[in-house]
Amino acid sequence: MKFRLPLAALTLACGLGLAHAGPLDKTECIAPAKPGGGFDLTCKLAQSSLLNGKYISDPMRVTYMPGGIGAVAYNAVVAQRPAEGNTIVAFSGGSLLNLAQGKFGRYGENDVRWLAAVGTDYGAVIVAEASPFKTLNDLVAAIKADPTKVVFGAGGTVGSQDWMKAALTAKAAGLDPRKMRFVAFEGGGEASTALQGGHVQVYSGDASEAEEQIKAGAKIRVLAVMADKRLEGGLAKVPTAKEQGLDVEWPIIRGYYMGPKVSDADFKVWTDTFSKMMATPEFAKARAERSLYPFAKTGADLDAYVKQRVADYRKLAAEFGLNVTK
């Protein structure tokens, strides 16, 4: 008499022997800078929210891939790791600005899969706690008196997001952005350290980074936020640039992309997971704890947004005489 294994049991047995890791197994988030900046913050948000919400069973690994303010990571994912269905990479509005200027080499905004935007941040003008500048107008007056004595530090070179925030501030004050003294650093963490060490006088960074660093004991002070209205939370008392007479706004989205050859099935698992996760009060709390404000887009919706922002940034870069991609 022959013994026949039930089909369901046979399928299970085969599955156990041939199982492959799914997109939510052994997950990794790449932060394209050194620890301590906005990319790190973005990866840590995904790491904690996915695990605490039980969307993943093991902690997400956060790895750091500094270089070119995102360029090294972008090129590595597109050229060397294009099909990794369990790897996501943090990006910001600054990444899109760099893409608009061709700073990521031969790859452009169409060469990755834009996964999810999980919140927005805003630009901020930051000084050391011991700085003589108490207001944005104090800073502007000092630059007008002698632009060589005020050194701006930022994560990125000329044309980067931090440089653009400083340039827009200078332009709004009637100053020539090309006369600014500017020192480039690899990410916000380095720029903040240089500010506290007295190597630069001003840091045109991000509000969320500044708030997190203040919570951690950093000796810094925020002179202005580049938002349409005052922010909630720890920076609620900081006036906007507009309140101080300078018409400058700079919203910064934060999110993730994936390699261009990630399968549609794996990509859908991720977009569905982020959509579900971002709709929960637990995620809203985690986002607020990192000083980010609501902004949620996934998949095709985010892809359309990214393409439009890159086009807008190309126009802005051209106005400042910077190189732009076609």
CATH number for the domain spanning 168: value is 3.40.190.10
Question: Nearest to residue 39, comparing CAs of 97, 89, 90?
Answer: 90
Q: What is the CATH number of the domain that holds 66?
A: 3.40.190.150
The CA distance from 39 to 43, in Å, is 6
Residue 10 domain flag: no
Task: Quickly tell me which residue has 């952005």 as its tokens.
Answer: 177
Residue 6 domain flag: no
The CA distance from 287 to 285, in Å, is 5
**How many domains is the chain built from?**
2
Residue 77 domain flag: yes
Residue 13 domain flag: no
At residue 125, the pLDDT reads: 96
Burial 184-221 (b: 16+ CB within 10 A, else e): bbbbbbbbbbbbbeeebbbbbbbbbbbbbbbeeebebb
Residue 325 domain flag: no
Q: Domain boundary at 250, 276, 310, which? A: 250
Sign of the torsion angle spanned by Cα atoms 247, 253, 259, 262 = negative
pLDDT digits (tens, 9 = 90+) for 147-156: 888 999 887 7
At residue 169, the pLDDT reads: 87
Query: Helix 207-215 to helix 188-196 angle, to the nearest 10 degrees?
Result: 60
What 3 state SS string does the chain have? CCCCCCHHHHHHHHHHHHCCCCCCCCCEEEECCCCCCHHHHHHHHHHHHHHHCCCCCCCCEEEECCCHHHHHHHHHHHHCCCCCCCEEEEEEHHHHHHHHCCCCCCCCCCCCEEEEEEEEEEEEEEEECCCCCCCHHHHHHHHHHCHHHCEEEEECCCCCHHHHHHHHHHHHCCCCHHHCEEEEECCHHHHHHHHHCCCCCEEEEEHHHHHHHHHCCCCEEEEEECCCCCCCHHHCCCCECHHHCCCCCCEEEEEEEECCCCCHHHHHHHHHHHHHHHCCHHHHHHHHHCCCECCCEEHHHHHHHHHHHHHHHHHHHHHCCCCCCC
Q: Are 191 and 218 part of one and the same domain?
A: yes
At residue 325, the pLDDT reads: 62
Residue 14 domain flag: no
At residue 96, the pLDDT reads: 94
Residue 16 domain flag: no
pLDDT along the chain (326 residues), means of 10: 44 42 93 90 97 96 92 97 98 91 93 97 94 95 89 83 87 85 81 89 89 88 95 92 94 95 98 98 94 92 96 89 70
At residue 62, the pLDDT reads: 98
Q: Domain boundary at 200, 221, 250, which? A: 250
At residue 14, the pLDDT reads: 43
At residue 99, the pLDDT reads: 93
Give me the chain's average pLDDT, please. Answer: 89
Q: Are 54 and 126 part of one and the same domain?
A: no
pLDDT digits (tens, 9 = 90+) for 174-184: 888 888 888 88
Q: Domain boundary at 250, 271, 289, which? A: 250
Q: Is the pTM of this model over 0.85?
A: no
Compute CA 87 distance to the chain's CA centroid, rounded to the nearest angstrom: 16
**Interacting residues of 164 by C-beta distance below 8 A, sequence separation 6+:** 97, 250, 316, 320
User: The domain containing residue 83 runs over which residues?
Assistant: 23-120+252-319
Q: Are 133 and 192 part of one and the same domain?
A: yes
Task: Please give the structure tokens belonging to residue 252.
Answer: 């910064």
At residue 21, the pLDDT reads: 66
At residue 256, the pLDDT reads: 98
Residue 7 domain flag: no
